[in-house]
Structure 1
Amino acid sequence: MEVLRTPDDRFADLPEFPFSPNYHDIDDAVLGTLRLHYLDEGPKGGKVILCLHGEPSWCFLYRKMIPIFVAAGYRVIAPDLIGFGRSDKPTQLEHFSYQRHIDWLVSLIETLELAGITLIAQDWGGLLGLRIATEHPQRFAQISLANTGLPTGDQPMQAAFLAWRKYALSVAKFDAGAICGGYLTKDPTQYLSEQIIQAYRAPFPDQRFTAAARAFPSLVPITVDDPATQANRKAWQALMVWNKPMLMCFSDNDPITAGGDKAFINRVPGCRHQPHTTLKGSHFVQEYDGENWAKTVLAWLDNCAS
């Protein structure tokens, strides 16, 4: 079973990214030892903010938000999911499952002994983070979500998502830079600079490295007999009695998750009386309005503490 590691020189001189790498080794029963990369910024004794990305991005997505959190005295942990960023990349689709991604992240959280966590999550960061938070509630204090969800397969998925699922599996050249830059538009540079687009391409020197990104859409439960359905239903049961503060910061122009914040606002007690905010931009809202999300979270955390 082949596991690839992106050469370090692919990450040299990235724009707006002065952070040092950290690594955690995971003992996987099937794949052996996997190296997971994460950022660890700010004071080690500071309150923890855990930033979880989705696909096909990596912790580079949070580069505008991390300095704002650190300046406010927080410790920021921002991992690269296995298969993304500087983390190791198994090459076969069947190497990935919803549960394995959760197990890999929990290994990091437990090893770093993280507690009192404020979870910041977007895209698959929410699908994973919400499962982890509801299964390990003693480690989490607050949650802020953007452009994500927790599907169970009980409701039909949007046509836009089903098209994305098909695209990820079938496209000959999976181009993470173009996807993050323009969300499948013909000219991604109208949104991001070429340097930033190249930074999103950096983890994937060739198509052998893209298995995780291709697999992720197919791991979303879209039928009631999906392997993740029961666990996600259980997570929703926990969320429906979740009283810890939860803040929605969805964006105003995401074709995949538009309106998804209402599922949480209407069902999760911790969402009541919170200053939910609509951010600007498309799916990768950290690029379009990340600074505003970070500042909104800090003001909210100050209010939660008072």
Structure 2
Amino acid sequence: MEVLRTPDQRFAGLADFPFAPHYLEIANAGGPPLRIHYLDEGDKDSAPVLLLHGEPSWSYLYRHMVPPLAAYGHRVLAPDLIGFGRSDKPAARADYTFERHVDWMSAWLTALDLKDITLFCQDWGGLIGLRLVARFPERFARVVAANTGLPIGGGKAPLPFKLWVAFSQLVPRFPVGWLISKGTARGLTAAEKAAYDAPFPDERYKAGVRQFPLLVPITDAHASVAECKAAWQVLAQFEKPFVTAFSDGDPITRGGERILTERIPGTKGQPHTTIKNAGHFLQEDQPARLVAVINGDDAA
């Protein structure tokens, strides 16, 4: 397995991103060890808030949420998935599978021995994050899910997702910053788009970005369907608080919160909310609203 590592200078002087990097090396079955980057802010003795990003973003997505959450007294962690951000990037698309990502993030989670976790997850951060909840339910105290889900095959991809997959596979140069900007309601500045492009000096570094859209287990032909069904058996018994905070402007995940609230007992009686004036990357559009939800402000 060839592994690429983005040069540190690519991350110098990014807009609104003053955080010190933290790294953890994990074992990697069938390949060399991999280095995971993460943000770690706030009181290290406090219960952690874990912020998981999705495709094709990285922990930069949470730059406006980390400081206020830390100010509320939380320990705030925001890792970069393997293939994204400052984390290592296997060079071959075949190196990226759903199960490997769950294993990689499991290794990171257990190495840090995180417990009493409040998870906030969006996009692929939810697919992987909900698998972590199912694998380690005793480590999680609460979940906030936004614009995400955990498919188990048996269906057909909605048209917006089909168009996204086609675009991701056919576009000659994968325009990460431009795509994230298009997935917001407000649009990003040139400096913000450049920050999302920073992890990828050239197309060789984008194997994970290219492969992720193909890994969503929507049909029975996809890998990881059995593993996701098994995870749902655990989630269907998860009685700890589980809150949904989907946005009002995401055509891909619209309505997905109903699947969660119908099947997960911990959603009962919780202050579910719709984040208004926000797109798929609602962290960019309404960070203060999300901080209030994560902090447990029922009036959010």
- TM-score, normalising length: structure 1: 0.94
Q: Aligned residue for 2:241?
A: 245
Q: Aligned residue for 1:295?
A: 292
User: What is the CA deviation profile of residues 188-231 of structure 1, one whole-angstrom value per residue up to 9, with x for unaligned ones?
Assistant: 99611110010000001110000001100111112224221011
What is the aligned length? 299
Structure 2 Cα separation of the partners of residues 8 and 211 of structure 1: 19
Q: Aligned residue for 1:123?
A: 123
Q: Which runs of 5+ in 2 are unaligned?
A: none
Tell me: CA distance 1:258–1:44, structure 2 relative to 1, closer, same or farther (3 Å).
same
Q: Which runs of 5+ in 1 are unaligned?
A: none
Structure 2 Cα separation of the partners of residues 200 and 230 of structure 1: 33
Structure 2 Cα separation of the partners of residues 106 and 53 of structure 1: 15
Q: Does the CA contact (< 8 Å) of 2:121 and 2:145 recur in 1? A: yes
Q: Does the CA contact (< 8 Å) of 2:54 and 2:123 recur in 1? A: yes
Structure 1 Cα separation of the partners of residues 186 and 130 of structure 2: 33
Q: Does the CA contact (< 8 Å) of 2:185 and 2:249 recur in 1? A: no
Tell me: CA distance 1:149–1:257, structure 2 relative to 1, closer, same or farther (3 Å).
same
User: What is the CA deviation profile of residues 241-268 of structure 1, one whole-angstrom value per residue up to 9, with x for unaligned ones?
Assistant: 2111001000000011011011111221
| 1:273 is aligned to 2:263 | no
Q: Aligned residue for 2:132?
A: 132
Structure 2 Cα separation of the partners of residues 245 and 192 of structure 1: 33
Matched position secondary structure for 2:275: coil
Q: Within 5 Å, give how 1:131-280 maps onto structure 2.
A: 131-183=131-183, 191-280=187-276
Stretch moving more, 165-174 or 38-47: 165-174
Q: Does the CA contact (< 8 Å) of 1:119 and 1:143 recur in 2? A: yes
Stretch moving more, 251-260 or 220-229: 220-229
User: What is the CA deviation profile of residues 20-41 of structure 1, one whole-angstrom value per residue up to 9, with x for unaligned ones?
Assistant: 0000111212220111101111
Q: Aligned residue for 1:6?
A: 6
Structure 2 Cα separation of the partners of residues 67 and 82 of structure 1: 24
Matched position secondary structure for 2:33: strand
Tell me: CA distance 1:138–1:254, structure 2 relative to 1, closer, same or farther (3 Å).
same
Q: Aligned residue for 1:52?
A: 52
4+ residue segments displaced more than 3 Å: 300-303
Structure 2 Cα separation of the partners of residues 194 and 151 of structure 1: 34
Matched position secondary structure for 1:41: strand
Structure 1 Cα separation of the partners of residues 298 and 113 of structure 2: 21
Q: Does the CA contact (< 8 Å) of 1:275 and 1:300 recur in 2? A: no
Q: Does the CA contact (< 8 Å) of 2:58 and 2:80 recur in 1? A: yes
Matched position secondary structure for 2:9: helix
Structure 1 Cα separation of the partners of residues 128 and 297 of structure 2: 23
Stretch moving more, 106-115 or 217-226: 217-226
Q: Does the CA contact (< 8 Å) of 1:42 and 1:74 recur in 2? A: yes
Tell me: CA distance 1:213–1:273, structure 2 relative to 1, closer, same or farther (3 Å).
same
User: Root-mean-square deviation (CA), in Å?
Assistant: 1.7
Tell me: CA distance 1:190–1:268, structure 2 relative to 1, closer, same or farther (3 Å).
closer
Q: Does the CA contact (< 8 Å) of 1:119 and 1:142 recur in 2? A: yes
Residue 260 of structure 1 aligns with an amino acid whose one-letter code is G
* Identity among equivalent pairs (%): 46
Q: Does the CA contact (< 8 Å) of 1:239 and 1:268 recur in 2? A: yes
Residue 249 of structure 1 aligns with an amino acid whose one-letter code is A
Q: Does the CA contact (< 8 Å) of 1:68 and 1:295 recur in 2? A: no
Structure 2 Cα separation of the partners of residues 166 and 30 of structure 1: 30
User: What is the CA deviation profile of residues 155-190 of structure 1, one whole-angstrom value per residue up to 9, with x for unaligned ones?
Assistant: 22211112211221221000110011113xxxx996
User: What is the CA deviation profile of residues 32-53 of structure 1, one whole-angstrom value per residue up to 9, with x for unaligned ones?
Assistant: 0111101111111011111100
Residue 289 of structure 1 aligns with an amino acid whose one-letter code is Q
Q: Aligned residue for 1:30?
A: 30
Stretch moving more, 119-128 or 166-175: 166-175
Q: Does the CA contact (< 8 Å) of 2:137 and 2:238 recur in 1? A: no
In the TM superposition, residue 122 of structure 1 has moved relative to its aligned partner by 0.2
Structure 1 Cα separation of the partners of residues 290 and 224 of structure 2: 30
Residue 107 of structure 1 aligns with an amino acid whose one-letter code is A
Stretch moving more, 234-243 or 77-86: 234-243
Q: Aligned residue for 1:112?
A: 112
